[in-house]
Amino acid sequence: MIAEYFLRLALLLPLLALLIWGSLRLTRYLQTRIVGAQGGGKAAELIETILLAPGLKLAVVRFHDQEILLGCSRSGLVRLGEAPGRDALTTPNIAPTIEQNPAPGTSGSAV
């Protein structure tokens, strides 16, 4: 009975250690891959992703001052649209301008 216990321990302990080692290696690989995709100074930059359903995502990628909307699925990528980058847009002055013309029926002079 004790021999059977030690035999199982001798078989399962290395298997458990192998699973732990493999998960640590996989985690390190995926972390370097994610950090590499977010690195600065590259032409392409991932801005945002949205999960729509399992296996379906929307992604916004900035590429040479253009923001590109991509549909990502298991079968591949599809470009859905593109727009100028947010940094490239110049925001016009949207504040309404008040004209100095007097309203009809009133005199232009203040009393």
Question: What are the structural domain ranges in the chain?
Answer: 1-37, 41-89
What value does the mean pLDDT take over residues 59-68?
91
Strand pairing report for 44-53 and 76-84: unpaired
Task: Please write the tens of the pLDDT for every residue from 17-48.
Answer: 999 999 999 999 988 887 665 555 677 888 99
- What is the share, in percent, of the chain residues with pLDDT greater than 90? 48
Residue the block writes with tokens 């929307």: 58
Q: What is the pTM of this model?
A: 0.43
Task: Please write the tens of the pLDDT for every residue from 64-75.
Answer: 889 999 999 999
For CA atoms 20, 23, 25, 28, give the dihedral sign. negative
Task: Please write the tens of the pLDDT for every residue from 76-91.
Answer: 999 999 898 776 555 4
- As a whole number of angstroms, the distance between CA 86 and CA 93 comes to 16
